[in-house]
Amino acid sequence: MASTRTATLVGLFGLGGLTGAVIATLFDSKKSDKQQHQQQQQQVPPTKTTATGVPAPPAPGATPSPPGATSNLLDTDLLDRRLLARAAQAAGGAIEASGYPGPVSDLLVNTAYVAGYDRRLRHPSWVACHMTAESLLKVPPPPGTPPPPRGDRSNSVFKEDSRIPDLFRAHLADYFRSGYDRGHMVAAADAKFSQQAMDETFYLTNIAPQVGEGFNRDYWAHTEDFVRRLTGQFRDVYCFTVPLYLPKQDSDGKWRVSYEVIGSPPSVGVPTHFAKVVLGVGKPGSDVKGALPSSSTTHLTPRGLAGNLAGEKWVGLGAFVIPNARVSNDTPLKSFVVPVEAVERASGLNLFPSTVKTSSKQLCNLVSCDIIVRDFSDANRRAAGMQRSNSAPAGLGK
């Protein structure tokens, strides 16, 4: 058990620089504290996950976890200052006894998705979800079986996430009269298999400021719909959504990153771009041995996908980077295609290992990468004069 949790910590929090002995010390030194803590705290059942570490969508009709059962993947006290100080001392005493100051990346596990939260920018660093035709309720129930309950967006409300310390939390007031929408990173429609799953997409830890008309209510919504429609062409769809801050070349020839900050005091960053990185695996209805077992409960990062695609022929991987601005619905989605490595370089994230990248085909070479323009809001009106962007941003590089 300790070795499994050690591997999880190294993989999820990037602690590869610490030796195995140091990581072992980090856990062993906390055993007695943990035992006392467990006697005082009700144990939360583990969230069922796939081999990617993304929660497996519950089967339609399955009873979701009770409200309040969601928690960080690792107990919060594993990241407290005293524990990290012990690890630092074991590594050579580079950090004084006051403890490790951060940065801390909060890993938040929800019913339908996993998120990494950025305390400085006060929005997700990334979110990841796993979708299937079944989880999106596209498959009719067997004859004689009542339809499974589904989430109703009208019953969901935006809410602050109490799992984040108040000092670093995004607040509802930060978005009030900001001029930006509270943009979902995992869409509510991606989590319609239960009310709890849908409600959790309204945590502000799943939200980032987005331009409303022309983007969040238009092109971005059409892009989310495109990703959901991929469940008709792939057995499993895994999607990362990543807020980005990309440089822009000024008139003096120098490159700078400039972005707005909202809130009072100003604290929530407004990303310049958003990325969708999508992996589609398997033909619908197929069940290839060795390919991403959806019943697995092993906690692994999405980078743990290596070696799990053996024998799978239908694998597509694609990345799209779209500016946080008005985008004409006439703009082809393929014009925003970029290499996955470009998103990883810009975000500082390792989304997929090289083995997955080399064994995958370009997504848009397997399926048609086109949006379908739909009005997702009765109050939404298309504005004239939208700026059309026909290419990936220059700030990504090659």
Candidate list 184, 222, 273, 299, residue with the active-site label: 184
Number of Cβ within 10 Å of residue 397's Cβ equals: 13
Number of alpha carbons in the 13 Å side-chain half-sphere of residue 24: 4
* The pLDDT value given to residue 89: 64
**Residue 61 has what pLDDT?**
52
Active site residue 37: no
Q: What pLDDT, on the 0 to 100 scale, is given for residue 74?
A: 44
Q: Are the beta carbons of 290 and 310 closer than 8 angstroms?
A: yes
pLDDT given for residue 299 in this prediction: 34
Is 216 annotated in a binding site? The answer is: yes
pTM over 0.85: no
What pLDDT score does 63 carry? 47
pLDDT at res. 257: 97
- The pLDDT value recorded for residue 383 is 39
Beta carbons of 55 and 48 less than 8 angstroms apart: yes
pLDDT, position 254: 97
Name residue 232's amino acid. Answer: G
What CATH number should be reported for the domain whose range is 49-70+110-396? 3.40.570.10
Pick from 124, 160, 141: nearest CA to 349: 124
For 195-313, where are the alpha helices, taking DSSP H only? 195-200, 219-229
Q: Residue 91: what pLDDT?
A: 61
| pLDDT at residue 105, as a whole number | 81
Q: How many alpha carbons fall within 13 Å on the CB side of residue 152? A: 3
Going residue by residue through the chain, which has 398 residues, state the pLDDT in tens, using 9 for 90 and above: 444 333 333 333 333 333 333 333 333 444 444 455 455 444 444 445 444 445 555 555 554 544 444 444 444 444 556 666 666 666 655 556 566 788 888 999 999 999 999 999 999 999 999 999 999 999 888 888 888 889 999 999 999 999 999 999 999 999 999 999 999 999 999 999 999 999 999 999 999 999 999 999 999 999 999 999 999 999 999 999 999 999 999 999 999 999 999 999 999 999 999 999 999 999 987 664 433 334 333 333 444 454 467 678 899 999 999 999 999 999 999 999 999 999 999 999 999 888 889 889 999 999 999 999 987 554 444 433 444 444 566 667 65
CA–CA distance, 358 with 307 (Å, rounded to integer) = 12
Residue 312 has a pLDDT of 85
Q: Which amino acid is at 147?
A: P
Q: Which of 263, 266, 114 is nearest to 201 (CA)?
A: 114
Tell me the C-alpha distance between 208 and 272, whole Å.
Answer: 11
